[in-house]
Structure formats: C-alpha cells, structure tokens
Structure 1
Amino acid sequence: MLSPELLKAAADAPGFMPDDEGTALATAALTVDVDGPLLEVGSYLGKSALYLAAAARPRGTTVVTVDHHRGSEEHQVGWEYHDPTLVDPAVGLIDTLPGFRRTIAAAGAEDVVTAVVARAEDFARIWSTPLALLFLDGSHTDESARRDLANWAPHLAVGGVLAIHDVFPDPADGGQAPYRIYQQALATGSYSELPGQGSLRLLRRDH
C-alpha cells in the first residue's frame, strides 16, 4: 500500500498538484506492472515527488527528479506564479532547489528521492535505465513539452506508465501544450489510456 506518511507530507507540501491528482499519480506508480525507477520532469518545490515517493518506498525503488530549478516561464518576474521569495539575490534568478530539498528532507524522503539538477534534455542523453513510470510536468510551452516527450518517452519500459499533468482539452481551462503532447503520444499507437484524474492523464506503453 502507499506510504500514508508520505501521502500526508505530499498533501501538506507547497505546490500546485491537487491531492486527488497526486494520489492518482501515486496509485499508478504503485500498481505499474514493470520494475524500474520513477522519473519526473519538473519538480518545483517537491510536492509531486513526494506523491511518487509514497509509491516508491513500498515498491523498493527510487524517484528521480530532473529540474534545472530556475523555474518555468510562469514563475518568472511579471508572470502569474512568480514568487519573489524564490529569487536568489546573489544571481537574480529563481532557485527552487533549496525549497525542494527542504520539502524532501522534512518528509523524511531523502532515502527514496534522488534530485538531478539539469536541463531534462541534457540528462536524457546520458540516461539508460528503463523507467517504470515517467511523469511529465515541466515547462508548458509547446517546444519544451514536445522536447520532454521526445527525449524521455523512449526510456519508458514497455508496460510502463506515461503520466502527463495539466492536460486541459478546453483552452479556457489552461495551456494547451500538455494536451497536445498527450494527443501526440496517443497518435503513435504505442499507448493505451488508463483512468486518470482531473488534469492528470495516464497512458500505458504497449509496445
């Protein structure tokens, strides 16, 4: 079963993942039929990493988070989700890594969460381990969303789960880049859809 302590920590952690979607993500990670690490692209302050950790601990596997920790477009000055407390005054740039580390440490999850500070496309080039679950929740521009799918989907094991967050079919509800890569993945014929939750879509890689 999912770790109740880590589920509680995830629900209480700062971030934008609704609890019902986070629990659905954790459940998908717990029940996936293949072995391997769980990898997320885009970590912010660690909330979704804790939902994945709630599944990783009982599975005896690892959550790998990949984020440059300089924030997405919407976190920059003048954008909707800008938080001035996250700006490193020494360099004048967003730095979410200290907050991420506090979130993971406070939850007691440092044993199951491995943080990689890098651009996702750079790290993908040197990654070789088949993934049980791939969670795409990075920058939501079309270019970066397509790049994340192209670079990381080949690392997902057959039988593994591709999870995509912030999928909104109606443009009035949110940006369309995650929805478009969700459609792109389905159009390949390599995936079948699993029950999702809210804006979270779950796809199983069939071949």
Structure 2
Amino acid sequence: MTADLLAAAAAAPGFMPPDEGRALYEAARAVAVPGPLLEIGSWMGKSALYLAAAARETGRQVVTVDHHRGSEEHQPGWEYHDPALVDPLVGRVDTLPAFRRTIAAAGAEDVVVAVVTRSELLAPLWSTPLALLFLDGSHTEESARRDQDAWVGKLAVGGTLAVHDVFPDPADGGQAPFGVYSRVLASGEFTELPGTGSLRLLRRTG
C-alpha cells in the first residue's frame, strides 16, 4: 500500500520534485511524537499523498488546509495559470475537484482530511499539537509570515517543521519561504535536520 501511494504521489500533478517528495515522506514517517500531519497548501494533492504514505504506515491522519483558489502565480495572466482549472460558474480557480480526484484515485480518503479554508481562519480553532507541519502555501512575504505566525507554535516539541521552496539565492526563487526558515531557525527553538533540494526540515526542541 505504501508503494502504491508513493507511486501515485510521483505521478500526481504538482510542483514537488520526486527527491523532495520522498524526503517529505521519510521525514513524516520518522516523527516520534504523537499527533497528525498537517500541510498548508495542497494544490492538487501531490504532497498530500507523500504524507498519506507515511500516515498509513504510522497510524496517523493527514490534514490538508487550502482554500483551493490558487496562489498568486495561478491567477489569470500569471505564469502558472491553467484556464482548465477555472470554475465557469464563479469565474475563479478551483483546484478542489482535482484534489479530490487525486486522493480518491490513490485510495487515500481514509487518511487524508481536507479542510477548505484559508489557513489563518482555521488556526484559531485548532488546538491539537502537530507531529509534522508542512508549509507550502502562497509564497508572498505577507502570506508566508502569516502561516508561520499562525501555525508554527502549534507544532509539538519533538515535532518536525518542513518548509518547501527555500532558496537562499534570490536568483533561484522567491525569498518568502527562506525568510520563514531563517526566522524559525533564529528563534533558538529548532534544530535543523538534513534537507533535500528546496525542502528544509527542522525539529522543534523547545
């Protein structure tokens, strides 16, 4: 079953390279503290399946948080806009149907719980300590900082924070996730674990 989920994750649409997806899976599988795995930013479910593979092995649940209206780069006129994802009834991007198909086709509906909302709206309602938090939402400075402020404090001591698209060199990509990673590391409450590509992993120690 794990092999099937990993194969489905690799084949699913999305922007996560296979080595980073596998590293996310390994990080989620290795977390020793209890609690769910929660991701901010799901797109069409690719990363959710990597997390689902670990959750299936370890008896956890994956919670995905996404408004499914797309980030800035997915809007009309931007680089990653796909007109096929626009709901003609409302004239806005809607990735939820594609996400649901991805999760259902992989047989992962029993371990993946989708919450359709903006992360900052859910955060005040959330009290369960997280075993793993994966930050991969909108990459503007404002939204990345908002996700950090809302969710990092909900990670259990001993839990793992995963931040995607961390590029120290501005020539390689946007700097908002790198800012999150840098601020969290500078807090003194986390130690860095080996990362892969643009995926950075940190363990909460205090």
TM range (shorter): over 0.9
Per the alignment, residue 59 of structure 1 pairs with 58
Provide the aligned C-alpha RMSD in A. Answer: 0.7
What are the residue-to-residue correspondences of 1:1-20 with 2, within 5 Å? 3-20=2-19
Give distance in 2, aligned partners of 1:174 and 1:79.
15
Q: Report percent identity of matched pairs.
A: 73
Number of positions where the alignment pairs a residue of Structure 1 with one of Structure 2 = 206
Runs of 4+ in 1 over 6 A off after TM superposition: none
Give distance in 2, aligned partners of 1:42 and 1:142.
15
2:128 pairs with 1:133? no
TM-score scaled by length of structure 1: 0.99
Per the alignment, residue 100 of structure 1 pairs with 99
Per the alignment, residue 21 of structure 2 pairs with 22
1:104 partner SS: helix
What are the residue-to-residue correspondences of 1:125-204 with 2, within 5 Å? 125-204=124-203
Give distance in 2, aligned partners of 1:83 and 1:138.
18
Give distance in 1, aligned partners of 2:152 and 2:169.
25
Give distance in 2, aligned partners of 1:88 and 1:159.
41
Give distance in 2, aligned partners of 1:168 and 1:78.
24
Give distance in 2, aligned partners of 1:179 and 1:3.
31
Give distance in 2, aligned partners of 1:8 and 1:135.
20
Gaps (5+ residues) in structure 1? none
Give distance in 1, aligned partners of 2:32 and 2:58.
11
1:193 partner SS: strand
Q: 1:147-182 CA distances to partner (integer Å, 9 max, x unpaired)?
A: 001100111000000000000001111000000110
Q: 1:178-203 CA distances to partner (integer Å, 9 max, x unpaired)?
A: 00110000010000000010000000
Give distance in 2, aligned partners of 1:131 and 1:158.
9
Per the alignment, residue 119 of structure 1 pairs with 118
Per the alignment, residue 86 of structure 2 pairs with 87
Deviation at 1:70, TM superposition (A): 0.4
Deviation at 1:102, TM superposition (A): 0.3
Q: 1:122-171 CA distances to partner (integer Å, 9 max, x unpaired)?
A: 00110010000000000000000000011001110000000000000011
Paired amino acid for 1:179: F
Paired amino acid for 1:102: R
1:125 partner SS: helix
TM-score scaled by length of structure 2: 0.99
Deviation at 1:33, TM superposition (A): 1.3
Gaps (5+ residues) in structure 2? none
